[in-house]
Amino acid sequence: MPKCPFCDHRNPASAELCGKCGGPLPTAPQTNGRSLEEQLLWLLDRDEKPDAISLYRQQTGAGQQDASDALDAFERGEPLPPLPEVEAGLEEEILTLLQGGKKIQAVRVYREQTGSDLKDALRAIDALAAKHGIAAKGAGCAGAVLMILTTVWIAARFLVQV
């Protein structure tokens, strides 16, 4: 039951366009580059640029400024900047690190493997996190700190009892 990303109308599973507003529906579970472009085109066509920017950011992990620049160019008829390609093995390694809240390490591994600069690496990591629905910012660090504190606390208690 695909929910329309534009008006929240619930559509039959076979629908490719929203029955209410005519917007393109996400077809496959995984949005590929082409359908992102179609959705962006549709939004820009309706003067919904802020929505187009949020959609673009959500799908690519780009920052506000980068998204805005990319869409300006897109509106002028230029292609969207290619999404950073990550090979499967590296992607898996990075996902594992991200899920463990180790974003800095993920960026380092990515840079070592691809030779890209810090900005590109961060962008690629954010895109990967967005693609897999991982909140790469904040939560992971807090979790790690909590875990360390818990470990220390348990160790301290153990020492006191002995």
Question: Which residues form the interface with Zn ion (CB under 5 A)?
Answer: 4, 6-7, 9, 18, 20-21, 23
Can you tell me the distance from the alpha carbon of 72 to that of 107, in angstroms, rounded to the nearest whole number?
A: 28
**Shortest Cβ distance from residue 25 to Zn ion (Å)?**
8
Closest contact distance (angstroms) between CB of 139 and Zn ion is: 32
Residue among 21 and 145 whose Cβ is closer to Zn ion: 21
Residue closer to Zn ion, measured from CB, 7 or 152:
7
Least gap, CB of 23 to Zn ion (angstroms):
5
Choose between 21 and 149: whose C-beta lies nearer to Zn ion: 21
How many CB atoms are located within 10 Å of the residue 37 CB? 14
Beta-strand (E) ranges in the chain? none
